[in-house]
Amino acid sequence: MSWDAKDVALLKQLWADGQSAGQIASRLGYSRNAVSAKLKRLGHKRGHKPPTTSPKIVAVPTRRPALAAACGRPVDKVVSKPKQVPTPTKEFTKRELYAMLADAVRNTG
């Protein structure tokens, strides 16, 4: 068990999204304890759980390729377009993060 960047990223995202530790833990594949503990180490502040997400404990290894690709290293399939592709693949804006997050999340069903 080692929290990879994507793990923590997804964790944070899901957590910020309003997902409960149990949900996040389930999708991530860890126990809610691990998630809570990890969050604690990360530096989470209590008093935060307005959206009580439905306890749909449907653990599914939703490993979205898009997410993995995004988190990993994107490709540069530039064939005949030497044009300097504006790929500031440095960080993800909230929208981008939320986009892939929502996609991965909703796809869970």
Partner DNA sequence: CCCTGATTCGC
Partner DNA sequence: GCGAATCAGG
Q: For residue 60, state whether it binds DNA (rule: CB under 7 A).
A: no
Considering only residues 6, 12, 22, 108, which one is a binding residue for DNA as defined by CB under 7 A? 22
Least distance in angstroms from the C-beta of 53 to DNA = 7
Q: For residue 68, state whether it binds DNA (rule: CB under 7 A).
A: no
Least distance in angstroms from the C-beta of 88 to DNA = 28
CA dihedral 21, 27, 29, 33 (to 10 degrees): 0
Cα angle 73-31-70, degrees, rounded to a multiple of 5: 15
| Residue 27 contacts residue 59 (beta carbons within 8 Å) | yes
Q: For residue 14, state whether it binds DNA (rule: CB under 7 A).
A: no
Measured over all CA atoms, what is the biggest interatomic distance in the chain, rounded to whole angstroms? 53
Which positions lie near DNA, rule CB under 7 A? Answer: 1-3, 19-23, 30-34, 36-41, 44-49, 52-53, 55, 57
